[in-house]
């Protein structure tokens, strides 16, 4: 990074939350629907790299990246410049009315970098959920089948179809039904909680048996899976699981859809998490880190599948907005120029080492897992595998009070996850992990 506007260090000048954040939070309670909640009420004024400055002048370490979005860092110079310039040229035409080069260039970039060297096409949307919805539309159209197979602990979004695809009741689904039909849930490979020693191939056979028995091959349009589950708890399937499921799909005319909305764009140390085992999906959904903080999502797929959909069957008013598109091109160029995939691997090694040291001192850390800069610990009651969501809540709050933004996740709410910007400086990561270690020590 060139000389930063904002010093890349943690600096706390008030109690957290400070007085101005508290004022804003009072206004918020009167104005904002409480269904939309925040992890901790620190109101942000500006940011750069891995530091956010709140309205009271506190410099916070961001180990969440706005849920894996600002992988290139806050206010990444190339992204800022591209967005400012594009906003001054034109901010919208609707690609379905008057097209523009920026949309085409993002599709070219996606087709070039997503797994597989076959011919591909892409379509752009606004949010991850919208991309998932469209991937399912395409799969149903192409196969003439309706069944969508998803996994336990899956998260695919909050719209009606994607709520149906998402596994967890609270807070995502409770009293929001009825849900879209023809969705079938099967077992995920979850090494920490599966029978001891279960291999990826055995976990895949378990899932396939459930699909064949509950859905039937003739009715299955697609299998939709996060190659590493995000909201469900950073669950990394056992080696061999994804290749075996993908192979079964290929043999049975079922489309294999990888939801790489959280794992994509260098987060796991590869461009995409599927790259790790050389899995090539038929369709892939992307969003989050693609556009450096601007809203943009995509479906990329085999040309013959994408070309099957009738003209006019896909789209939307804002999908592939030009300002978001130039942000994506700048983010992708930054990832390439700075080799952020390699940076993610290094960050993962540092976090893994620190987590292992914390685990040696704290029996409440049941499992450590993740890949690259997507790392988590699963918290349990010592001596058991019983989930401890209260510990996760306390640790996340203690980190925030000390100026370090962390997140929890997991079907049981007991997983503490880190998703730092991939440009984070080593000293800053070290300081953030020190705060986390203190919060964990305070647990016992």
Using the Cα atoms of residue 165, residue 191, residue 410 and residue 371 in order, give the sign of their dihedral: negative
| β-strand pairing of 407-409 with 415-418 | antiparallel
C-beta of residue 426 within 8 angstroms of C-beta of residue 386:
no
Distance of alpha carbon 342 from alpha carbon 349, whole angstroms? 11
Could you tell me the smallest distance in angstroms from the CB atom of residue 262 to ligand PLP?
3
Nearer to ligand PLP (CB atom), residue 230 or residue 364: 230
Nearer to ligand PLP (CB atom), residue 127 or residue 321: 127
Measured N-to-C along each axis, helices 322-337 and 101-113 cross at an angle, to the nearest 10 degrees, of 40
Could you tell me the smallest distance in angstroms from the CB atom of residue 324 to ligand PLP?
12
Which helix (H) or strand (E) is 404 found in, with range?
strand 404-405
Could you tell me the smallest distance in angstroms from the CB atom of residue 58 to ligand PLP?
27
Residues 6 or more apart from 357 whose CB is under 8 A from it? Answer: 437
Could you tell me the smallest distance in angstroms from the CB atom of residue 164 to ligand PLP?
13
Could you tell me the smallest distance in angstroms from the CB atom of residue 259 to ligand PLP?
5
Could you tell me the smallest distance in angstroms from the CB atom of residue 427 to ligand PLP?
29
| β-strand pairing of 404-405 with 59-62 | parallel
Nearer to ligand PLP (CB atom), residue 16 or residue 419: 419
C-beta of residue 430 within 8 angstroms of C-beta of residue 9:
no
Which SS3 state, helix, strand or coil, does residue 207 take? helix
Q: Provide the binding-site residues for ligand PLP, judged by CB under 6 A.
A: 127-129, 132, 155-157, 226, 230, 259, 261-262, 287
Nearer to ligand PLP (CB atom), residue 261 or residue 440: 261
Nearer to ligand PLP (CB atom), residue 285 or residue 338: 285
Could you tell me the smallest distance in angstroms from the CB atom of residue 298 to ligand PLP?
11
Nearer to ligand PLP (CB atom), residue 42 or residue 273: 273
Nearer to ligand PLP (CB atom), residue 262 or residue 411: 262
Nearer to ligand PLP (CB atom), residue 7 or residue 169: 169
Distance of alpha carbon 351 from alpha carbon 406, whole angstroms? 13
DSSP string across 355-390:
HHHHHHH-TTEEEEEEETTEEEEEEB-TTS--B-HH
Which SS3 state, helix, strand or coil, does residue 319 take? coil
Could you tell me the smallest distance in angstroms from the CB atom of residue 134 to ligand PLP?
12
Using the Cα atoms of residue 147, residue 288, residue 407 and residue 348 in order, give the sign of their dihedral: positive
CA distances from 234 to 68, 101, 199, 238, 418 (A): 12, 36, 18, 13, 10
What residue number has its CB nearest to ligand PLP?
A: 128
């Amino acid at each position: 990074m060139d000389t930063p506007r904002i010093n890349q260090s943690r600096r706390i000048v008030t109690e957290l939350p400070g007085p101005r954040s508290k004022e804003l939070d009072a206004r918020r309670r009167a104005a904002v629907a409480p269904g939309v909640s925040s992890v901790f009420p620190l109101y942000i004024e500006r940011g750069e790299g891995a530091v956010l400055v709140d309205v009271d002048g506190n410099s916070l370490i961001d180990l969440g990246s706005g849920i894996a979005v600002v992988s290139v860092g806050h206010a990444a110079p190339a992204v800022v410049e591209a967005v400012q310039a594009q906003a001054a040229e034109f901010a919208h035409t609707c690609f379905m009315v008057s097209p523009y080069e920026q949309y085409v260039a993002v599709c070219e970039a996606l087709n070039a970098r997503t797994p597989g060297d076959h011919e591909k096409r892409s379509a752009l949307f606004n949010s991850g959920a919208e991309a998932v919805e469209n991937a399912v539309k395409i799969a149903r159209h192409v196969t003439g089948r309706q069944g969508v197979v998803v996994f336990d602990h899956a998260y695919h979004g909050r719209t009606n179809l994607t709520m149906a695809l998402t596994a967890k009741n609270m807070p995502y689904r409770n009293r929001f039904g009825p849900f879209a039909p023809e969705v079938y849930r099967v077992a995920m490979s979850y090494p920490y909680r599966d029978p001891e020693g279960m291999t990826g191939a055995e976990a895949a056979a378990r899932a396939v048996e459930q699909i064949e028995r509950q859905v039937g091959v003739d009715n299955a349009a697609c299998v939709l899976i996060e190659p590493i589950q995000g909201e469900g708890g950073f669950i990394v399937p056992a080696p061999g699981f994804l290749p075996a499921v993908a192979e079964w799909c290929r043999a049975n005319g079922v489309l294999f859809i990888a939801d790489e909305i959280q794992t994509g764009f260098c987060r796991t140390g590869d461009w995409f998490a599927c790259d790790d085992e050389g899995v090539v999906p038929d369709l892939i959904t992307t969003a989050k880190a693609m556009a450096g903080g601007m809203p943009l999502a995509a479906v990329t797929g085999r040309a013959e599948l994408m070309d099957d959909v009738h003209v006019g069957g896909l789209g939307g008013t804002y999908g592939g907005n030009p300002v978001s598109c130039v942000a994506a091109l700048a983010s992708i160029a930054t990832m390439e120029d700075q080799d952020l995939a390699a940076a993610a691997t290094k960050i993962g090694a540092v976090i893994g080492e620190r987590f292992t040291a914390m685990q040696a001192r704290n029996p409440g850390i049941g499992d450590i897992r993740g890949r690259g800069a997507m790392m988590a610990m699963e918290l349990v009651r010592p001596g058991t595998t019983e989930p401890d969501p209260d510990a996760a809540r306390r640790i996340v709050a203690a980190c925030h009070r000390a100026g370090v933004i962390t997140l929890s996740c997991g079907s049981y709410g007991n997983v503490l996850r880190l998703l730092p910007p991939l440009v984070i400086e080593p000293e800053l990561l070290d300081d953030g992990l020190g705060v986390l270690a203190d919060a964990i020590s305070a647990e016992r």
